[in-house]
Amino acid sequence: MSNLKHKKAIITGGGRGLGKATAIAFAKEGIDVAITGRNETVLKATAAELEALGVKAIYSVFDVGHYEQVKSSIKDIIDTLGGVDILVNNAGIAAIGSFNDMPVEQWSEMIQTNVMGMYYVTKEVLPHLIDQNGGDIFNVSSTAGLNGNPNISAYCASKFAVIGMSESLMKEVRKNNIRVITLTPSTIESDMTIELGIAKEGSHENVLQPEDFAELIVSGLKLPRRAMMKSAALWSTNP
């Protein structure tokens, strides 16, 4: 089992939802964590919760869809953390709307955030992992990255793209002892799914919870370095 204590992680969208649950699970393993997002109030509160678990916890406010912001923020994070071992590309947005009704700007924003954002952040972190000949990158796609469905074309397009980008990167950097893991979770209770009307608040017994997702990531990290969870689909036992 790998020792995760004092490893350093960056989690995009780490202030709430799946990202926050992952940050808490990491902190419980002794991993120092940097969480990122656009809402400083939320990030600050989550960082305080993480610090209370006894690890170094910092936050950084930037939009993953803006390359210049990503570039300078990731540099600052890595300088402050004193390195980086783990990246969880989790920040993302979703919206429902028919192909014709969804405004062009909203369609583009989903691609800009979910695809370009992941690309920008990874591009800035990757050289550090290559230099140290090791690291782990978790890329959050979705079941929506595996199957198209009506009224969700932009989100599906973005999550299909994540799988292509993630698998290509995995094959490129496996030789550098960097594990790139593509995750395709099904519906998990979070702000996103509650706002979309596909999960109900407080439905703990029936619907996947962010903690379940976090547990999957930690179990991937704990595999011996010779082994890699190439991809993982998290499904509920209650269809």
Ligand X SMILES: NC(=O)c1ccc[n+]([C@@H]2O[C@H](COP(=O)([O-])OP(=O)(O)OC[C@H]3O[C@@H](n4cnc5c(N)ncnc54)[C@H](OP(=O)(O)O)[C@@H]3O)[C@@H](O)[C@H]2O)c1
Q: Which residues pair with 12 in a beta bridge?
A: 36
**Strand, helix or coil for residue 9:** strand
Of 15-23, 49-57, 73-81, 123-131, the segment contacting ligand X by CB under 6 A is 15-23
| Of the residues 24, 47, 92, 166, which one makes contact with ligand X according to CB under 6 A | 92
Question: Least distance (Å) from ligand X to the CB of residue 169?
Answer: 17
Convert residues 71-90 into a mask of x (bound to ligand X by CB under 6 A) and - (unbound). -------------------x
Convert residues 116-155 into a mask of x (bound to ligand X by CB under 6 A) and - (unbound). -x----------------------x-x-------------
Closest CA relative to residue 70, chosen from 129, 122, 127: 122
Question: Least distance (Å) from ligand X to the CB of residue 218?
Answer: 16
| Of the residues 28, 29, 42, 97, which one makes contact with ligand X according to CB under 6 A | 42
17, 190 in Cβ contact below 8 A?
Answer: yes
22, 11 in Cβ contact below 8 A?
Answer: yes
Q: Which regions of the chain does DSSP assign to beta strands (E)?
A: 8-12, 32-37, 57-61, 86-89, 135-140, 178-183, 231-232
Task: Tell me if 23 contacts ligand X by CB under 6 A.
Answer: no
Task: Tell me if 203 contacts ligand X by CB under 6 A.
Answer: no
Task: Tell me if 18 contacts ligand X by CB under 6 A.
Answer: yes
The torsion angles phi and psi of 9, rounded to 5 degrees, stand at -125, 145
> Is the alpha carbon torsion for 132, 136, 141, 145 positive or negative?
positive
Q: Which helix (H) or strand (E) holds 160?
A: helix 153-173
| Of the residues 29, 30, 38, 76, which one makes contact with ligand X according to CB under 6 A | 38
Per the listing, tokens 């796609």 go with 141
For ligand X, which is the closer residue by CB, 92 or 135?
92
d(CA 124, CA 58): 18
For the record, the structure tokens of 59 come out as 């936050």
Of 79-87, 120-128, 171-179, 185-193, the segment contacting ligand X by CB under 6 A is 185-193
d(CA 212, CA 18): 9
Catalytic: 67? no
Question: Least distance (Å) from ligand X to the CB of residue 183?
Answer: 8
Of 36-44, 128-136, 169-177, 224-232, the segment contacting ligand X by CB under 6 A is 36-44
**Active site amino acids:** 155
- Give the footprint of ligand X on this chain (CB under 6 A): 12-13, 15-19, 37-39, 42, 63-65, 90-94, 113, 117, 140, 142, 185, 187-188, 190-193
